A and B are shown apart, each in its own frame.
Chain A
Amino acid sequence: MDKPWNNKAWFFVLPVFLLVALSAVIPLMTVVNYSVQDTFGGNQFFWAGTEWYTEVLTSSRFHDALIRNLIFSGIILAIEVPLGIAIALSMPRKGIWVPVCLILMALPLLIPWNVVGTIWKVFGRTDIGLLGYTLTAIGVEYNYVSNAVHAWITIIAMDVWHWTSLVVLLCYSGLVAIPEAYYQAARIDGASRWKVFRFIQLPKLKRVLLIAVLLRFMDSFMIYTEPFVLTGGGPGNSTTFLSIDLVKMAIGQFDLGPAAAMSIVYFLIILLLSWVFYTVMTNYGVERGK
């Protein structure tokens, strides 16, 4: 009697399961496997227990990279979310400019990461890059290769340029879905532009903002290509984020055990922080009502 709702459905889901198993679960398990063992090469492994985890969690190298990541993601969210909302708010709702704006906004999203890195790398060079040359010409000593602050600013600028569009497009879709009657009612109630934003637009954007924040957080926390292309993590270790450090450790030094442990920790941190964002944002304002 209680047979599955539609047996055919499983046939369609099965390939995806296999794909996910091959692409995610099996590699993840391999990494877990590495993270609890030690090797001296020659495919010989020894049980290491939690040794690597302890080493990773207590190393100052890991702490420094983690702090860099947190600061970077914080800055990215603090710039991209308000900026994205602001741009979305100022975009036209109807008329011939709508498709123009949408295409302009979508353009950066179409460019691959490494190309973005190269574009900015060239753009910022003081000898041939438009930005670097201009800055130098007007007397600013701009050099991302030797100045850590300059390197950071360049990476942030890259990310903002590349990804703010995503926030804009998400917010814009949320804004156009608000019925006209809300704006009319607010005008009649004498609400200011700010109050319209605060009490109508922002609450109605909550869902899309949640998605935008999650996507931007996860993505910025995994930043790799931009610093890698630009300075390879330098100058010094100033742009060595967790992902870069991980690659250095795993491929540069071939420390598979600690690298695997770090991967796991890194993964758990992203998962934990995403969950925190999600819970905080979905619960915001709910308790007050009950």
Chain B
Amino acid sequence: MARITLDKLAHSYLAAPKSDEDYALKQIDLDWEDGGAYALLGPSGCGKTTLLNIISGLLTPSAGNVLFDGQPVTQLSPEARNIAQVFQFPVIYDTMTVAENLAFPLRNRGVDKREIEQRVNDMLSTLDLTDKARRRAAGLTADEKQKISLGRGLVRHDVNAILFDEPLTVIDPHMKWQLRTRLKELHEQFEHTMIYVTHDQTEALTFADKVVVMYEGEIVQIGTPEELFDEPAHTFVGYFIGSPGMNILPAELQGSTLISANASFQLQRNYPVLDASHVELGIRPEFVRVESASAKQSDSPSLPYAITSVENIGRHRIIRGSVAGHALDAILPEGKDVPSEAVAVFDESHINVYSDSHLVKPRA
């Protein structure tokens, strides 16, 4: 178990990178606490897998350092770094039994025979695989194989960190629920530092205490799931997290009044005077109420809402449409009807202001 520090880390797959664009990872500085659960979230090509491979030692960065507990490990091999990794596709040793698979990393490290047996048996019961211990690993289902991959890391008590590279990609939805919770339980039980790479927001948010959102080789925000949901630092985060993502509308800021879609919104907080030309309003679909135009007007402005489609996804409905020519999505809770003549009402306490795509922090 270790604290992991990334110090001015950068990487390019080119031998002689020239411009910023040649870098798969632009400068990254990060500090991950010992025993934390972190997620690296971003679309494909954002550099998250590159970063993971640098941490595990499968890749040497072009610049900067990786430190475990303050000790530089940048030049060390994966085995010397003492980490474990679970890959996208289950990696198991086909010819070995489940128990032999779990024992393998211990045998390689010359752990005492009785100790191995003890730890493997413990791990088998932790993973609910005791009854399959003598089975050949090749015949198991995808989720069981992933459990074995994970078990090979956990069985080494002293690993500095466990890294996950989209481990649920090949797992069926129902099994995903089980594996995800099992992973959380194991994290609480063993308190390993865990780093989880994914493009799936649900996996990232449910797994991690802190999520690192990456975009085009850079970190755009590090935050708890609530922070990412309530106050996305960048419009990209707003769009990337949440289904559907945050609505972004062009706007104009005048003191604590935000003018957008031909309406004035009274913001709950005070904002600095912005000289930026490009101001936007951000509001999550969860905070857009869809009401009937004939209903009693609330204090907040009602925007005439032209609905183009309604998707019923069971527990709620996703409404898609536009206000004053700008696309706007809303979420309609179960049990409410879609009005024929609709207006959209924003929850003003959840309006965010963006200037040149970056969140404007209100004045204290």
Contact = CB atoms under 8 A, between A and B. Distances in A.
Interface string B59-83: 0000000000000000001110001
Contacts, number: 59
Given A199-B95, A285-B95, A289-B135, A187 B87 contact: no
Interface in A199-247: 199-200, 203-204
B79 A181 contact: no
A17 interface: no
B82 to A, nearest CB: 9
A195 interface: yes
29 contacts: A179-B89, A181-B88, A181-B91, A184-B56, A184-B58, A184-B78, A184-B87, A185-B85, A185-B87, A185-B91, A187-B58, A187-B79, A188-B79, A188-B83, A189-B104, A189-B105, A189-B108, A195-B108, A199-B93, A199-B95, A199-B96, A200-B93, A203-B93, A203-B94, A203-B95, A204-B94, A285-B95, A288-B136, A289-B97
Contacts of A187: 58, 77-79
Interface in B99-148: 104-105, 108-109, 135-136, 138-139
Contacts of B96: 199
Interface of A: 179, 181-182, 184-185, 187-192, 195, 199-200, 203-204, 285, 288-289
Which 4 A-B pairs give the minimum distances between C-beta atoms?
Answer: A289-B136, A190-B108, A185-B91, A189-B105
B233 to A, nearest CB: 33
Nearest to A184: B58
Nearest to B77: A187
B208 interface: no
B149 interface: yes
Interface residues of B, number: 28
Majority secondary structure of chain A interface residues (helix, strand, loop or mixed)? helix
B135 A190 contact: no
A288 B97 contact: yes
Given A182-B91, A199-B93, A199-B96, A188 B109 contact: no
Given A189-B104, A203-B94, A285-B95, 5 more contacts: A185-B85, A187-B77, A188-B56, A191-B108, A289-B97
A235 B335 CA distance: 98
Interface of B: 56, 58, 77-79, 83-85, 87-89, 91, 93-97, 104-105, 108-109, 135-136, 138-139, 149, 152-153
Contacts of A188: 56, 78-79, 83-85, 105, 153
Majority secondary structure of chain B interface residues (helix, strand, loop or mixed)? mixed
B9 to A, nearest CB: 20
B166 to A, nearest CB: 11
A195 B103 CA distance: 13
A192 B105 CA distance: 11
Contacts of A192: 108
Nearest to B91: A185
A285 B149 CA distance: 21
B210 to A, nearest CB: 24
B104 A191 contact: yes
Nearest to A199: B93
A147 B232 CA distance: 87
A195 B108 CA distance: 9
Contacts of A199: 93, 95-96, 104
Nearest to A185: B91
Contacts of B91: 181-182, 184-185
A248 B152 CA distance: 63
A203 B97 CA distance: 14
A187 B85 CA distance: 10
Contacts of B138: 289
Interface centre among A185, A189, A190, A289 (most CB of B within 10 A): A189
B89 A184 contact: no
Contacts of B77: 187
